[in-house]
Each structure stands twice: as structure tokens, then as C-alpha cells.
Structure 1
Amino acid sequence: MAPTVDAGAAELLAAEEAGVRHRRQLEVDALLRLLAWCDLHSLDPQSQPGAVPVRFGGDRLVRLGGEGTPQTSELCMAEFAVASNAGWIATSHRAAAALDLRHRLPRLWERVQRLDVEVWVARRITDLSRNLTRAAVEIVDISLAAACDLTPGKLIELAEARIIEADPQAHRDRIAAEEARITLRLPNAGALEFTTSVEELAQALADHHVPDDEDDVATMDQLRARAVELLADPHAAVRFLEGLREPETPPAPTTTRAPRRATVYVHIDAAVLAGLATGVARVEDLGPMLLEQIAALVRHRSIDLHPVIDLNSGTAVDAYEHPTACKERTQLRTGGDVFPHSASRTRRLDHDHVTPYDKDGPPGQTGDLNDAPPLTRRHHRAKTHLPYRTRQLGLGAYRWQTPHGLLRVVTRYGTTVVEPLRTTDGTLVGEVYPARYDVRYDVGA
């Protein structure tokens, strides 16, 4: 029971101490459940009768953790991610940490289970040590076990030191990789223009760099770093791009650079049109912006104008392939991947038919109301090769049922749990959908 407002200081402090241990225990229990899930799915899917070959997208064993950890079914992580209200990648990273703790850092894992070390600290150490060999990581584990009472920051610092000692060359490689990265803080418009210029210059350097017998092929990060160095002398950069020769740089092509283009989608709400709200735009890969920021962003770009896209309407065609316009409307309605709890906003998505296409069936089978959930390739593989069930409930709204019966609805509002509606005797008579959604849900069979 939570303490009352009048509780004494000692009671409040005791409750806080108990709360800390309770929270840590819940986090440990969550890792134990994830480990048990991995153990349940440690059998090679390719050894099962009727297994779909990996080359056709079938399931397979993958090693999520470091050297010495057991392998786990790749596609099984999708359903546990749904139960965790998390994404596939985040869940896979959590599983990798749990496996590393149990199999590579058992002494640290014991301290985590005793609630002496917080899970987030242990996960940070597993991330840092994942590339070490099993023999090297054991040295790190022994050292951490002896440091019983260090604060989280000092424990991580000790782990970093031992990891460097265990593999100095790997640390040198990480330093080189960090030095090749570019980290700048600029206004959105300026950042986009600058990074675009860096990419173009790096690509030009890549196109015209001829390595000799002793010269390694440069990575794109190294070429980007060279591009930034070149941009520090704008006149040298201009000479290079115009095709004049520098001592270390072969001549660049003399073709004129095509103007950069921008396609802008403006989502207009009735409240904005009525002057009752401020217009806010969302730019893909950048996030929400005010309209004046959009003006700055596209100032130096050639603008493509398209007809108004009404997201409340749809069309149907007789062909098997979804028309580009249909895919575009679905993308704009959903904002990206619609696997439960997915955060991906990529446009590289797989489209399919919710109701399977029948070449001998009625006309109009392909369209907005039969556009299966747009998914990333990994989520599409899970849906295809595991017994997931999906239904389209409306424009941009999808109902999911996982192999073990978890129910979710995914719309532009996000992912929501669907509650079963039962009579007093427990008979299932329907499902409860969120009333706040303005999509009409058809909850038929």
C-alpha cells in the first residue's frame, strides 16, 4: 500500500528503498522471461518438416549475442516484441544483452539477479564487450565481480578500461571509426544542405579516386571526412567540382549538377483552414516543423507540385499490382511500417493483398481497401512464414492477431491492445476497440 501524505520520513524512505528493489526485480524478471523465450525457440527452424528455405525468406537460427551464446530463431522475436509493446530491433538488442549476461558474463549476471547492479548498467557493459572473444570477456567479468560497490558510472568506466586492455586493436579501430564520423549541430535547413553537399562531394571523390597497389579502398565515412576537410577551403572545393586538378585529387567531371528537388506533402486539418490552429508540418527523417521552417528548407530547391491527395477516398483496379497512387495514399495514411509497435517510417515497404488475389475472382480486388499492411521486409517475412492473421478494418487501419493470440490494432494513432468482450459466463461475443479512433471498424469474422 502506498504511504499516505502524513507518513513519517522513515516510512517514506523505507517505501522508496523497497520500490527500488521492486523495480529492479521486475526488470530482472523481464530478462528471465526473454531468456526463456529464446530457449523455447532454439531449435533450428530449417530442421522442421516443410520448412521454407532461407533463400525464400524462411526462418533460421541467428546469433544475437557475442561469441559463445546460443542461437535463436530469427522470426520469433517479432511476437515477443508485440507482447513487450516494443519494436523488433529493440527486443533483439535486449535478448542479445540477456544472452551475453547468462553465457559470457555469468558473475555480473549473478549480481544483477541479486539486484546489486541495475539492468541498464549491465546492458551497457554487454554492448561494450560483445565483440570480445569468450576468453577475453571472462577477464572483464572477473574484474567486475570484484568491484562490488562501485557506482554505475564507475562500474561502466572500469568495464571500458578492462575491455580496452583485453583487445587494444579493437579500441584503435573504434577510435578511427569515430574520427571518420561527422557530428554537427545546425538548423534543419542548413544541416540538410550541408549534409547533401558532403554526400555529393564524397561521392565525387569516390568516383575519381584511383587507389594504387598499397592504397586501401576508402570507406564512405572516410570519404565524407575528406569532403568536410575539402569544404573547409571553399575555393578548393569549387575548383574540384568544376574539374580543375588538385595535387591529390584526379579531375572531376565537368557536367552541371542537377538542381536538388523536393516533394512536399502538406496535411491540412480543418482547424488550420478555419484559422483555429497553427499549421505544423512533418518532414520525413527530420520531424515536425513550423511552416516558416519548411520555407527555409526548400528555399534552394526545385519543387515538384502534385494534385491534392484525398486520404479519405480510395480506388480499386482489376490488376494484381497495387498502383503507385494507392501505395502513396497508404504510406501517407500510415506513416510507415504497420507491424504492431514498429517505429519504422521508411518508404521501402512491401505491399500485398489482405484478401488473397484470385485471378479468376471478381473485378476490383486491388486497391486502398485491400492493401495489406505495408511492412518492412523482416516484418513481412514474419507475417508470411508464421501464423499471423491480419484484417484491414478501414483506410489505414489494421487488426493483427499473433501466432499465440495477442490482438492489436494499428492505425496512424499507433498500436492499441484489443480487449476481448465476453459475457458473464465467459463466452467471447466480440472485441472492444478504442472509441477515440475516427476509423469505422468492421469487427466481423
Structure 2
Amino acid sequence: MEATATAAPELGDLTAAELLGAARREEAASRRAEANLLAVAYEWAVAHPADEDGWNAATFHHPLGDEPISGDGTPLVAEFCIPELGAALGVSTDAAKKLIGQAIEMVHRLPRVWKRVQSGLVPVWRAKQVAEATIHCDPALTPEAMAWIDAQVAPFLEKIGRAQMERIVAQAIELYGLAAQEQPLDADNDGRFVHIHTPVGPFAGAMRIEAEVSNADGHDLAQALAAGAAALKAGGSTASLDVRRSMALGELARQQTSLDLVGADADPEQDSAEAAARKARRVDLHLHFTAEVQPDGTTGINPIGLLENGQKLALLSQVRSWVRGTHTEVRILPVIDLNEQITTNRYEPTERLRRQVLLRDRTCVFPWCTRPARSCDLDHVEPFDHDAGGEGRPQPGPTGTDNLAALCRSHHRLKTHTGWRLTSPASGVFEWTSPHGQRFRRDQHGTHDLTRRPDGEPPPVTAPVVPPPRVATPNAAPTA
């Protein structure tokens, strides 16, 4: 008898009931896969413990100090093991830290939650939400408080929301006497705040501001915004009141040029630098627009550029509206040709070379890293030999366009002190090999995974190694 293979039906051929069944199966498989990935992250952490003194332990780095990736009493994880897991998952190092920290928190401080997650019956994102709330709780939660939270949350994990989780943590703090002594109402920490929320996504064109101020400040601000909105309307603006109030708030910020916070008793002969610090505040917005050859053969500016602050896209039309403001100063920096090879005999790059590399790379060039290049170090791909010139030898690691890479401090240290290897087959193209043999390419198109798949098949074909030529890129920096 001849066997005949039957292909699986296309989704378009399924009935409504069959589609619902397929949806349930895929959702269950996705939930199981997420639980398995969390377990893999935990085992990766177990396989890479930090040293006994904890000097190489992974932390989140903040301007005010380092923050652990999991709660009190949990095992510490070696810092340099995390980037390789993140690279394998196609996420940033910080995202991998968060995943590992959440897994450790569940295993060691939320065992009931961990058990339910590993059953595959509850969404993993809800368990991560619980872990985040307990990891970053201030004050730190004791083992007794954690056991109480675990018992309260685990049975209802699939129903716990963010607000309810915050109430449970607050109850645990009160129940176990962890709350700090209340401060007088006139103390510095009386509840006032201003939060400026960074927008998410490259196309976000607005920011949300949330604040709680004193009654006097609130009334003054309300009157100032009302007056500003009225002035805009009198000037011909047809925008709604809310939009005009928003515009007036921006004008208040730009017009604030001489706020004196020192007082009448200040020394009139104070240092000139201190006096200058109280003068006009200036915010630099670095904008990059690329000149391109148009279909008719002329050269024009691409209408979509990059707002470097936050790595957002910006439209030329938006920039035109910004520069119409009376308090906006526009500085056009010299055009940088990204295809030009710039070199210097010195170890430190020239300012022009530095700007060229920053414009070319835009972010740290480690796989999946998104830290802006302007805050990164410039690293020699092939190390610079400080003795080569004095000994009459050719320089193996010249300071030039094709041998420099923007690396954030964390990944700069990773390249210097671990088994990660970096090569640059072409200017702006960087190929990384991890200690376990994973391979990645980072270029102007992003990160590409060059590691062979588990089934032995080669990775999918991606962008060419050598990037296509690009014309000169102007760097505009409007300042308000």
C-alpha cells in the first residue's frame, strides 16, 4: 500500500471552533515556553555564582548607587555571565538582568508563586509583576513578610493586578512593623513630587508630566498657565484650552532665566561660575537628518530624522514648529561624512573623529544594547600599542574610523576583561563571538544573530556585511 502524506490545513481552512481550539493550544504552549525560559534563566544564574565577597555581583547601576537584581538574602550572580544570556534571547543586558533577578526572587523568596508559574497554569507576566514589587520594596521585606506575601498572592496569582499587589506589600510592611517612622508634615518628604514620564516607542511625540505641589505653588501655576493660554489665543492660536495650557507650560520653562535660589544674604563677590550656573538653563536636543539623493537626481533632506535624546524619531515638520519659538537657538554643526576615513596618530580621537563615530554607531555596538553612543566610551577594536611608535613598529590598533567602536562602560569592561571577542570587518560593522561560541553582527541595520540554530541549520540571511554608501549627515542641535 502506498502511503500518502497529508499536509496540515491552513488556518484559513479552519472552522470558527477549530480556530478557537488552535488559539487555546498556542496560548498554553506560549505560557509553558515562558515558564521554561524563566527556569532556564534561574539555572544559568546557578551555574554562574558571584565570588564569595560579591565584588563581581550583577547589579543595576543608577546615578544614586547600585541596586541588586533580586531581594535580600538571595544568591548573587556573576556580572559578566548575564550579557551572553541576553544576547542569546535577543534582549539587552539590563533586560536579561531583570529576567534572572525575577527568577531568583521567585525561587528563593516566593516559592509558592514559583510553583504555580512552573505548573504552566498562570501567566508568567503576573508572577514577574509580583517579583518586581518585592525586589524593589522600600523598606526591604523580611523573610517573614515575604512568606506572608507569598501565601496571600500565590492562590490568586492569575487575578492579582499592580494596584492590588501594592496594597498587599503595604499591608505586609505594616503587619511586620517595617514602616519607617513618619516624618512631620513640614519635613522635606511631605509627599510633593514631579514625575516626568519618558515616552515609550520611537514615534512618541509627547511626554506626560505628573506632579503634586503645595497649594500656593499650585494656584500660582494655574494662574500662569491660564494667562499663557489666553495670550496664545489672543495671538491667533486656534488650539484647544488644554493644548494652549500645555504650550504655556513649555514657555514658562524656556522663559525661566534668572531664578534666584540663593537669597538676599548671598555674597555679592561670589565666584563667577556659581553666578553663571544660576543663569539661563539650556536644554540641548541633538537632531540628525540625513541628506539623500531624490528620484529626480537632486539632493534633499530626509523628512524623518533621529532625536538623539531618548532615541526617538523626529519629523522635519516638528523641528520647524520648535524653531519658531522666540527662545529657541539653532546651531548647525559641521557636516560629517560617515564614509570618510579619519585617522590620528594619537591615542585619543580628535573631536571630529569622535563625532563621526558617535553619528555612525548611534548606540553602544554590543548585541541588542540601546545605550546612546554619546554616553559611551570610544574603544579601539584592535588595541592601541602605546610603544609601537617609539620602537619603530607599525601601529596594530590605529585611532581611526574603522578601528573605533562606541561601547557603554559595562560592555567596554566586558570586552576588556572576559572571553568576548570583537572584530570589525568594515567600518561600522562589528562581529562578536561569545565565550560559548555564539556569534552576532552589529551594523547600521541592528543586531543579527549569526549562531547556527539548534537543528544545525545556518542562521537566516540578513543584511550584507558591508553597509551601502551613505552621504554626508548633518547634525543639527536646536537648543531651548
TM-score (ref. length: structure 1): 0.74
Equivalent residue in structure 2 for 1:25, among 28, 32, 41 = 32
Take 1:157 and 1:375, find their aligned partners in 2: how far apart are those partners?
38
Which ranges of structure 2 fall in alignment gaps of 5 or more residues? 1-7, 60-67, 184-188, 228-251, 269-273, 469-480
Q: SS at 1:308's partner residue?
A: strand
Partner of 1:78: 83
1:46 positional shift: 7.0
1:306 positional shift: 2.7
Partner of 1:211: none
Take 1:97 and 1:244, find their aligned partners in 2: how far apart are those partners?
43
Report the CA distance shift for 1:76/1:170 in structure 2 as closer, same or farther (over 3 A): farther
1:233-244 paired onto structure 2 within 5 Å: 241=258, 243=260
Is the Cα contact below 8 Å between 2:192 and 2:214 reproduced in 1?
no
Q: SS at 1:303's partner residue?
A: strand
C-alpha offsets along residues 284-312 of structure 1, whole Å, 9 cap, x if unaligned? 12521221211233442333333221111
**Partner AA of 2:444 in structure 1:** R
C-alpha offsets along residues 332-391 of structure 1, whole Å, 9 cap, x if unaligned? 0111211100111251211222222223232692111111x2111111111111111111
Take 1:244 and 1:318, find their aligned partners in 2: how far apart are those partners?
48
Partner of 1:181: 194
C-alpha offsets along residues 156-176 of structure 1, whole Å, 9 cap, x if unaligned? 554332211011437999xx6
Equivalent residue in structure 2 for 1:283, among 307, 310, 314 = 307
Q: SS at 2:26's partner residue?
A: helix
Is the Cα contact below 8 Å between 1:419 and 1:432 reproduced in 2?
no
Partner of 1:151: 159
Take 1:18 and 1:259, find their aligned partners in 2: how far apart are those partners?
57
**Partner AA of 1:24 in structure 2:** R
Q: Among all aligned residue pairs of Structure 1 and Structure 2, give the percentage whose two residues are the same amino acid.
A: 26
1:85 positional shift: 0.3
More helix by share: 1
Take 1:171 and 1:79, find their aligned partners in 2: how far apart are those partners?
43
Partner of 1:37: 44
Question: Cα RMSD over matched residues?
Answer: 4.4
Partner of 2:366: 339
Q: SS at 2:313's partner residue?
A: strand
Is the Cα contact below 8 Å between 1:107 and 1:141 reproduced in 2?
yes
Structure having greater relative contact order (Cα 8 Å, sep ≥ 6): 2
Take 1:70 and 1:264, find their aligned partners in 2: how far apart are those partners?
44
Q: SS at 2:120's partner residue?
A: coil
Partner of 1:166: 172
Take 1:44 and 1:224, find their aligned partners in 2: how far apart are those partners?
49
Report the CA distance shift for 1:368/1:22 in structure 2 as closer, same or farther (over 3 A): same
Partner of 1:302: 329
Partner of 1:367: 400
1:407 positional shift: 0.6
Report the CA distance shift for 1:294/1:277 in structure 2 as closer, same or farther (over 3 A): closer
Equivalent residue in structure 2 for 1:101, among 99, 106, 119 = 106
Take 2:155 and 2:444, find their aligned partners in 1: how far apart are those partners?
50
Matched, 1:434 2:462: yes
**Partner AA of 2:366 in structure 1:** F
Q: Which moved more, 1:398-407 or 1:264-273?
A: 264-273
1:226 positional shift: 10
Q: Which moved more, 1:259-268 or 1:81-90?
A: 259-268
Is the Cα contact below 8 Å between 1:281 and 1:289 reproduced in 2?
yes
Structure 1 residue ranges, 4+ long, deviating more than 6 angstroms after superposition? 170-173, 221-230, 235-240, 244-247, 249-256, 430-433
Q: SS at 1:182's partner residue?
A: strand
Report the CA distance shift for 1:139/1:84 in structure 2 as closer, same or farther (over 3 A): same
Q: SS at 1:90's partner residue?
A: helix
More strand by share: 2
Q: SS at 1:269's partner residue?
A: strand
Report the CA distance shift for 1:246/1:385 in structure 2 as closer, same or farther (over 3 A): closer
Matched, 1:135 2:118: no
Report the CA distance shift for 1:147/1:251 in structure 2 as closer, same or farther (over 3 A): farther
Partner of 2:237: none
Partner of 2:318: 293
Count of residues paired in the alignment: 390
Partner of 2:298: 274
Equivalent residue in structure 2 for 1:412, among 444, 449, 467 = 444
Is the Cα contact below 8 Å between 1:390 and 1:400 reproduced in 2?
yes
Matched, 1:351 2:378: yes
